[in-house]
Amino acid sequence: MSSFSRCAACKYLRRKCPQDCILAPYFPSSNPQRFVCVHKIFGASNVTKMLQQVPGHLRAEAAECISYEAIARVQDPVYGCVGIITQLQQQISQIHSEIMKTKGEMIAHHCAHSQHHPPPQPQGDPSWSISLHQQQQDYSQSDEHLLRKY
């Protein structure tokens, strides 16, 4: 890339943008603010290293995720991306509570009807209840795994 069409990173860092600039494909000059956030949070050197260690075909996705994390931390300097994770976990927990409540109401409804009619066929837990329980375990375990190692 010539010095006349430097990428957002090279422009911000006031340097020439080489032909093989690793940042250029992911930080075009059309979106300078994106690199400002990434530079503020990670630093150009760290971002370059992070992209270098990822296979070429996955770099675009890595750059996208790095930018997302940087923007989240600029917008929320205390919690960053972890604030979004916590919010989603709370949503799942809340949905789980509401499903359990609804399940209780359904059982009560069945019991009330079964006093007048034959009992329903045994069905075990509804499929969504089992898979939700499994999902809850999945994400809890992945978090525990993440924290246990460090």
Q: What is the DSSP letter of 4?
A: G
From first CA to last CA, the distance across the chain in angstroms is 41
Site for its own copies in 99-138 (CB under 8 A): 99, 101-102, 106, 126-128, 131-132, 135, 138
Question: Using the 8-state DSSP alphabet, how is residue 22 labeled?
Answer: S
Among 2, 19, 30, 45, binds its own copies (CB under 8 A): 45
Are 136 and 143 in contact by the 8 Å Cβ rule? The answer is: no
Q: Would you say the C-alpha torsion 34, 40, 42, 44 has a positive or negative sign?
A: positive
Site of interaction with its own copies (CB under 8 A): 31, 33-34, 37, 40-43, 45-46, 50, 53-54, 58, 61-62, 64-69, 71-73, 75, 77-85, 87-89, 91-92, 94-95, 98-99, 101-102, 106, 126-128, 131-132, 135, 138-139, 142, 146-147, 149-150
